[in-house]
Amino acid sequence: MNKVDLKELAERLNLSVSTVSRALRDKYDISEKTKKRVLALAKELNYQPNPYASSLRQRKSRTIGVVIPEIDNNFFSLAINGIETVAQENNYHVLIYLTHENQQKEINILKHIQNGRVDGLLMSLSSETDQIDHVKEIRKIELPLVFFDRVAEGMDVPLVTTDDYQSGFDATSHLIESGCRKIAYLSISKNLSIDNKRMKGYADALEKHRIAFDSKLVLQGAHDHEKNKKDIARLLKSKPRPDGIFSCVEKLAIDTYEVCRTLGLRIPQDIKIVSFSNLAVSSLLNPSLTTITQPAFEIGKEAAKILFKLLEQLEKKRPFSSIENKVFNSSLIKRESTG
């Protein structure tokens, strides 16, 4: 066991522990000569400071937490990629927590995290979450928090999102312009603001083209693929059959593809599909999928950057500047599924 601590360094160098500590951290009141001696020995012995002692004393952990619904999802893995990149640049560590779209898990995670384990939090809500007391609790202890994508609104917290309303509007308009008149909306959650906004865009686009909104055409997706496929199949077998599908999330679009295959429905001849998606192979699907693609990596990076800005302000005890929201544009990429 190879544990070198400050005491050991101090003894070997005939210095005090506090001097060694300050030398290693390049403080002003240690001579250059001493600093060099200390650094040299520290390197030789491969000294690594104990992060827990340090965190305990400094009341900061150099760690941020990321709480997300799931990770086997292109959007979130790209976002984490962005987050981790920024964290590594700032010499921070990243703790990952998955809620698996479960509100109770989300509550538990937030509860067990509000003890200084992380200096800040990045978060995207679970689809089941229908109240946010647990998040407000986090605010009470003044833990810097940034929401991305699946945000909770009205909380005085920075939000990083995309132009969900506009995207919903554009996607639906695109379907209408492609000839669709009976367009279904596949939702993940009526609780999530991003879902509501997308649906509002959908509804407004319908209205603009004088197409009646029909609540029977709104399908609530679940966490269970099989159930989703059954529901989608029922929807696609209803008469008159929908001629367009706007899916709020990638996985429901995939389910739709599979159901269409099962039912022998042709895309785009029988039904056209557009979906939010970060699938790298959208253009290679059969048929290629028209997507609204969010800049997921950038969203992760930006959310992390804002969080680090908050941390810096906290550090310098500056008053928090105005809440910094950031809205990215998604891009509608037209492909065969709406052709």
Partner DNA sequence: TTTATTATCGAAATCGTTACCGGAAGCACT
Partner DNA sequence: AGTGCTTCCGGTAACGATTTCGATAATAAA
Residues that bind DNA (CB under 7 A): 3, 5-7, 14-19, 21-22, 24-25, 29-34, 47, 49-50, 53-54, 56-59
Both tokens of 334, joined, read 């037209």
Question: According to the binding rule CB under 8 A, does residue 127 interact with a copy of itself?
Answer: no
From the CB of 18, what's the least distance to DNA, in Å?
Answer: 3
Dist. CA 184–CA 135, nearest whole Å: 33
- Return the residue of 8, 204, 258, 298 that touches a copy of itself, per CB under 8 A: 258
- Return the residue of 12, 13, 39, 116 that touches a copy of itself, per CB under 8 A: 116
| Residue 124 touches which of DNA, a copy of itself, none (Cβ within 5-8 Å per kind) | none
CB contact at 8 A, 184 and 242: yes
Dist. CA 129–CA 135, nearest whole Å: 11
- Return the residue of 201, 221, 287, 295 that touches a copy of itself, per CB under 8 A: 287
Question: According to the binding rule CB under 8 A, does residue 247 interact with a copy of itself?
Answer: no
The contact mask relative to a copy of itself for 221-240 (x = CB under 8 A, - = no) is --------------------
What letter does residue 27 receive in the DSSP assignment? -
What are the residues whose beta carbons fall under 8 Å from the beta carbon of 80, sequence distance 6 or more?
66, 68, 71, 94, 96, 300
Angle value at C-alpha 296, between 290 and 300, nearest 5 degrees: 170
When the beta carbons of 162 and 288 are compared against a copy of itself, the nearer one is 288
Dist. CA 88–CA 104, nearest whole Å: 30
- Give the length of the chain: 339
CB contact at 8 A, 311 and 328: no
When the beta carbons of 31 and 329 are compared against DNA, the nearer one is 31
Dist. CA 196–CA 198, nearest whole Å: 5
From the CB of 309, what's the least distance to DNA, in Å?
Answer: 21
Q: Which residues bind a copy of itself (CB under 8 A)?
A: 1-3, 46, 48-53, 55-56, 61, 63, 70-74, 77-78, 80-81, 84-85, 88, 93-98, 105, 111-112, 114-117, 140-142, 254, 257-258, 261, 279-281, 284-288, 297
